[in-house]
């Protein structure tokens, strides 16, 4: 079972509302809860933005009036803070105190530093991240795109601009529907809907396991964990273990920082299933394709690690969850970087196969036919399409450094797909 040393994480700050401005800005509105009573304004915002965002960046935004406190009348009377009833009459500082029931507003602009909002580092130097997804297919109803690593699927937290949806919405000047998502570090294929009709049908496909998903991954071989999982196995004969079916249940750990695995017959966690297929092996590394049959959080990473194949670059499940905290707090050691080998987990969503009828309108079905069983039957008999994405540059470069034959890898992937 994968586990972490229990910790008591700081209570997160979560916005109650997000408003998109005409200038493409985002305004986040927060209620100050009891747990945050008495915090400095910069500390409060940092709990939302994350440790990667510098205090200097937050301090400048407060000074410019992009972060303000609007105290409730009740809180103001009790705390003698009538001067904060209107933010137009109050200049705030980083040291300003937030009180229970206060409302805090923060506006993020496209001109705000991408370095501060998307800060990623490698050997203590910031890395340049790709901000342009690759369009694989586009028609009047959907966009199939390949997301680069470190790009969010849609705006969340401090990741408000370097997002797939924001990128295409700015290009097309229309709202798009995010049908599914990938973790920010994971690269690969995504579908966006251009209208509610088709988006509804595709969302139903994802929710009812009608979409076939395939991921490419690079993992380290931890023979001790493999032997605990399936018995003593010589490292040279790992190909014989595949296809490998992982069916451990998955649930959130007590620390809430990561997910844990439980036996298949356990009552803990949720049912999960991943099928792994062998692509190649070199020294202590293995290249695999993963076919998730369920959609649990971090499922592929958790199942791979549970069977002795932690992903290269995985800061959480790579064997030492404290590494993630050091990376997050920007106190990563040289040993940490050497252990990671890549700035992000080596996981790429390489292909999707799904039913697609651009003319299907589920909303137009008679009421008696709008049940899940009938809709599933309709979609199951709909023509299926397959889209495959190229391997990302960072994973290709890593394989070239290890002298892995990329043509052989490509041939094997095409054969399996």
Task: Provide the annotated active-site residues.
Answer: 183
Two structure tokens written together for 87 = 């933010």
CA 56 to chain centre: 27
Pick from 216, 191, 200, 207: nearest CA to 385: 191
Output the DSSP codes for 187-220: EEEEEEESSHHHHHHHHHHHHTT--EEEEEEEEE
Residue reference for tokens 């991921």: 215
Output the DSSP codes for 267-316: SSSB---EEEEEEEEETTEEEEEEEESS--TTHHHHHHHHTT-PBTT-TT
Burial class (CB in 10 A: 0-12, 13-18, 19+), 371: exposed
Pick from 344, 323, 342, 219: nearest CA to 278: 219
Please answer whether residues 50 and 117 qualify as being in contact, where contact means their C-beta atoms are separated by less than 8 angstroms: no
Q: For the chain, what is the largest distance between any 2 Cα atoms, rounded to a whole number of angstroms?
A: 73
Two structure tokens written together for 312 = 């290269």
Helix (H, G, I), strand (E, B) or coil at 17: strand
Helices (H), 14-94: 41-49, 55-63, 73-79
Pick from 158, 153, 160: nearest CA to 184: 153
**Phi and psi (nearest 5°) for 116?**
-75, -40
């Amino acid at each position: 079972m994968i586990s972490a040393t229990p910790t008591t994480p700081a209570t997160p700050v979560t916005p109650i509302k997000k408003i998109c401005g005409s200038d493409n800005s985002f305004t986040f509105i927060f209620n100050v809860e009891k747990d945050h009573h008495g915090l400095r304004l910069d500390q409060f915002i940092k709990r939302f933005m994350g440790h990667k965002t510098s205090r200097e960046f937050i301090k400048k935004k407060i000074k410019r009036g992009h972060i303000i406190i609007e105290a409730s009348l009740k809180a103001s009377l009790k705390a003698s803070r009538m001067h904060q009833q209107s933010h137009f009459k109050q200049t705030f500082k980083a040291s300003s105190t937030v009180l229970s029931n206060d409302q805090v507003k923060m506006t993020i602009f496209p001109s705000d530093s991408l370095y501060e909002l998307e800060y990623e580092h490698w050997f203590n130097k910031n890395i340049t991240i790709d901000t342009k997804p690759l369009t694989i297919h586009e028609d009047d109803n959907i966009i199939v795109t390949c997301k680069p690593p470190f790009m969010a699927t849609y705006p969340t937290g401090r990741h408000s601009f370097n997002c797939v949806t924001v990128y295409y919405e700015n290009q097309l000047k229309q709202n798009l529907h995010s049908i599914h998502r990938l973790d920010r570090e994971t690269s690969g294929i995504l579908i966006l809907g251009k209208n509610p009709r088709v988006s509804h049908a595709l969302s139903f496909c994802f929710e009812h396991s009608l979409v076939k998903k395939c991921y490419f991954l690079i993992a380290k071989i931890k023979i001790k964990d493999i032997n605990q999982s399936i018995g003593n196995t010589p490292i040279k004969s790992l190909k014989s273990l595949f296809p490998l079916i992982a069916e451990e249940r998955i649930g959130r750990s007590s620390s809430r920082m990561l997910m844990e695995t439980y036996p298949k017959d356990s009552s803990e966690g949720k049912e999960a299933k991943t099928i792994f297929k062998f692509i190649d092996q070199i020294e202590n590394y293995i290249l695999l394709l993963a076919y998730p049959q369920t959609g649990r959080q971090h499922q592929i990473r958790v199942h791979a690690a549970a069977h002795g194949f932690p992903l290269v670059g995985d800061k959480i499940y790579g064997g030492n969850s404290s590494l993630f905290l050091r990376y997050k707090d920007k106190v990563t050691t040289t040993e940490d970087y050497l252990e990671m080998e890549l700035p992000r987990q080596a996981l790429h969503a390489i292909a999707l196969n799904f039913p697609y009828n651009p003319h299907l309108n589920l909303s137009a079905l008679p009421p008696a036919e709008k049940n899940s069983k009938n809709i599933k039957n309709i979609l199951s008999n709909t023509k299926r399409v397959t889209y495959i994405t190229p391997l990302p540059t960072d994973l290709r470069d890593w394989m070239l450094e290890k002298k892995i034959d990329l043509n052989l890898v490509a041939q094997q992937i095409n054969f399996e797909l």
